[in-house]
Chains A and B, each alone.
Chain A
Amino acid sequence: MNGSIIKWALIGVAAILLISVVSGFIGFSNREIELSNSFFQKKDERTASYDKMYKVVAQKTQIAVKNDSSFRNMVNIIMEGRKDAQQVVFKWVQEQNPGATFDQVTKLYSELGQTIEAQREQFFQEEKMLQDINRVHEDLIRKYPGSFHNLFFKRKSFEYTPIKSSLTEQVMKTGKDDNIKLDL
């Protein structure tokens, strides 16, 4: 009887271990899918947020800026946090409103600066979350036991390109600083 009990005990232990391993694999896969969905949703939101920023700024300044490269460049300078951003923006606002008085330009500049700063903050918050999700995903697939599970699933790292400076559509795709020449 003792031999039989040991045999059944071993089968039982093996069954429990199997259930644990299988649930580990299921848990890994589900978690990875959740992170993946969150990541791509956030990535879409980041792009939408960038588009929104132009629309909001354009609305504020009441300037048709859809295809105005100087406007985009000006926004990029603010987003980069360049030291001469204030002067550049002020100059740009002045050039866009040649008939405006100094006070009017100052007011417009103030409103514009406020809006762009807020949009920039918002954008960086989204970027931060994207980075965070990417980090959690990397931890999941590279650290044990996720790394072991991933030997079978072969889930890949996200193609994540943090946006560092020039925030043009091109940069969205490549993540590289494209050395925009300022025509301002």
Chain B
Amino acid sequence: MSIYLALIIPLLVSGITYFLYPKRITLWEIFVPTAIGFFVIMIVGAIVRHEGNSDTKYNGELITQVRYYEYWETYVEQTCSREVQTGTDSKGNPTYTTEYYDCSYCDDHPAHWSAITSSGEEYSIKESTYDSLVKMWGNNHFLDLHRNINYEYGCGKDGDMYYSVWDKHIQHSYTRYSKSSFQNPIKHAHSAFKYEDISPDSAKAMGLFKYLPLNDEDLTNQVTVQGYDNDSVRKVLEYLNGNLGVRYGVHIQTLFFSQKDPKIAQKQESYWSGGGPNDVTICIGVSGDNITWCRVFSWCDNKELTVGIRDGIIGLGKVKAMPIYSVVRQNVSDYFVTKDFSAFAYLPYDYSGWNYFFVYFITLIASIATNWWCVNNEYENYD
């Protein structure tokens, strides 16, 4: 069904309005709601498609520095102006004059804590995160910011910065992700590339993992390794994602399945709908520390990536962090390219029931509004 069938709505509303108010609508006004309705449907349809296909991709980053900015305040002297009514003119209209006054104020800046990522982005973190990283990295430097503080009327306090730099130790690394949106035409289309739907309840029952759960409010240390309790291994694999994320734009997640059939990796792929365009998901079957199977999925066109990582990891025999890191790094640097989802632009958008309802509803509102305007404007049918 086409969304343009909604054009019936303005036609019907215009007909009813003309029937009710024949004297208040001119000839040309009869077609205004339909013409407006056409554009409304076109625009709302485009918005619905854009929003429906909108998806998020993630990119791993490393935290290279954390900063603490001290509280500071300075007195800002300034003069403001305002219009004041002074009386009325001969026609009774109010007259105004510009009045100047002192609007100086104390400009205060609360203390705040932030982190700098390997891509140069700065974002806020909690004080506790700052403290724990300073402690872990074992360095804390002072930097005089040479602020120009104006001390007046009890206002004025200088504030500088303390910072701590990552010590380049993998076990002390901290990762986070950045988000960006992209258009995913597969999301709302009937396609051979569409995966089977797996509900969260079924996923839980099967022992599948959630996509990128967060482990703290700061979003600093993202969970890209699931199903394995060894902190040292986890840290290396998280670092792997952060480090290669910056270099190659890849987002790597490593999932460990203990005592599970390899088929579960296919279910995981379906549950995550293949992951994002830059995702490389490594599913590893383990029995204790022994690797029993491995399956890698990614949208990357070059399948040497997935086959290479899989065979490399299976060849290791046991879960060893640094060898896994080497295998993945080598294959990512050789073969990884982010999938360009515009390749799926040929897929037509399948409007859902809610999409139709939304388009029809907005068209109805627009039709009523334009007909109301037609009835109440100065153009009348005097014949």
State which of A136, A140, A145 has its C-beta within 8 Å of the C-beta of B2. Answer: A145
Contact of A114 among B4, B27, B311 (CB under 8 A): B311
Question: B308 contacts A136, CB within 8 Å?
Answer: no
Q: Is A88 an interface residue (CB 8 A)?
A: no
B304 near A129: Cβ-Cβ < 8 Å: no
Q: Is B237 an interface residue (CB 8 A)?
A: no
User: Within 8 Å of chain A (Cβ to Cβ): is B149?
Assistant: no
Q: How far is the CA of A114 from the CA of B315 in the complex (A)?
A: 13
Q: Which residue of A lies closest to B307 (CB)?
A: A118
Interface digits, A76-110 against B, CB 8 Å rule (1 contact, 0 not)?
00000000000000000000000000000000001
Is there a chain B Cβ closer than 8 Å to A169's Cβ? no
Interface string of A1-18 (1 = CB under 8 A from B): 110010011001101100
A51 within 8 A of B: no
CB pair B2 A121 closer than 8 Å: no
Say whether A164 faces chain B, with CB atoms less than 8 Å apart. no
For residues 1 through 56 of chain A, which have their beta carbon under 8 Å from a beta carbon of chain B? 1-2, 5, 8-9, 12-13, 15-16, 19-20, 34-35, 38
CB <8 Å contact, B303 and A20: no
Chain B contacts with A in 1-48, Cβ cutoff 8 A: 2, 4, 7, 11, 18, 22, 27, 30-31, 34-35, 38
Contact indicator A118/B304 (Cβ below 8 Å):
yes
Which B44-98 residues have a C-beta within 8 angstroms of A? none
A128 near B: Cβ within 8 Å? yes
Dominant SS at the A interface? helix
Across the interface, name the chain A residue whose C-beta is closest to B26: A5
Chain A residues within 8 Å of B302, by CB: 118, 122
A110-164 residues with Cβ-Cβ distance < 8 A to B are 110, 114-115, 117-122, 125, 128-129, 131-133, 135-136, 139-140, 145
**In this complex, what residue of A is CB-closest to B382?**
A1
Q: Which residue of A lies closest to B310 (CB)?
A: A114
Out of A19, A118, A128, name the residue touching B192 (CB < 8 Å): A128
Known: A135-B192, A136-B346. A16 touches B31 (CB 8 A): yes
Q: How far is the CA of A142 from the CA of B72 in the complex (A)?
A: 70
The CA of A35 and the CA of B307, in the complex, are separated in Å by 31
Closest CB-CB distance, B3 to chain A, in whole Å? 12
Inside 8 A of A145's CB, which chain B residues have their CB?
A: 2
Which residues of the partner chain B approach A5 to less than 8 Å between Cβ atoms?
Answer: 18, 22, 27, 30, 381
Indicate if the CB atoms of A34 and B346 lie closer than 8 Å: yes
Q: Check if A9 sits within 8 Å of B30, measured CB to CB.
A: yes
Contact A12 B31 (CB under 8 A): yes
Q: Do the beta carbons of A35 and B4 come within 8 Å of each other?
A: no
Q: Chain B residues near A117 (CB, 8 Å)?
A: 303, 307
Contact for B11 among A1, A13, A120, A140, CB less than 8 A: A13
Question: Cβ of A115 and Cβ of B304 under 8 Å apart?
Answer: yes
B311 near A136 (CB under 8 angstroms)? Answer: no
Contact status B346-A118, CB under 8 Å: no
Q: A122: which B residues are within 8 A, CB to CB?
A: 301-303
Residues of B within 8 A of A118 (CB): 302-308
Within the complex, the shortest CB–CB distance from A173 to chain B, in Å, comes to 24
Measured between alpha carbons, how far is A128 from B22 in the docked complex, in Å? 59
Q: Does B203 contact A (CB under 8 A)?
A: no
Complex Cα–Cα for A182 and B22 (A)? 85
Please give the residue numbers on chain A whose beta carbons come within 8 Å of chain B beta carbons, in ascending order.
Answer: 1-2, 5, 8-9, 12-13, 15-16, 19-20, 34-35, 38, 110, 114-115, 117-122, 125, 128-129, 131-133, 135-136, 139-140, 145
Q: Which B residues are within 8 Å of any A CB, using their own CB?
A: 2, 4, 7, 11, 18, 22, 27, 30-31, 34-35, 38, 191-193, 301-308, 311, 343, 346-348, 381, 383
Q: Can you show 29 pairs from A to B with CB atoms below 8 A apart?
A: A2-B22, A5-B18, A5-B27, A5-B30, A5-B381, A13-B11, A15-B31, A16-B7, A20-B4, A20-B7, A20-B38, A35-B346, A110-B311, A114-B304, A114-B311, A117-B303, A118-B305, A119-B303, A119-B304, A121-B303, A121-B306, A122-B302, A122-B303, A128-B192, A132-B191, A132-B192, A132-B193, A139-B348, A140-B348
Interface pairs A-B: 6 shortest CB-CB: A121-B303, A118-B304, A118-B303, A118-B307, A1-B383, A132-B192
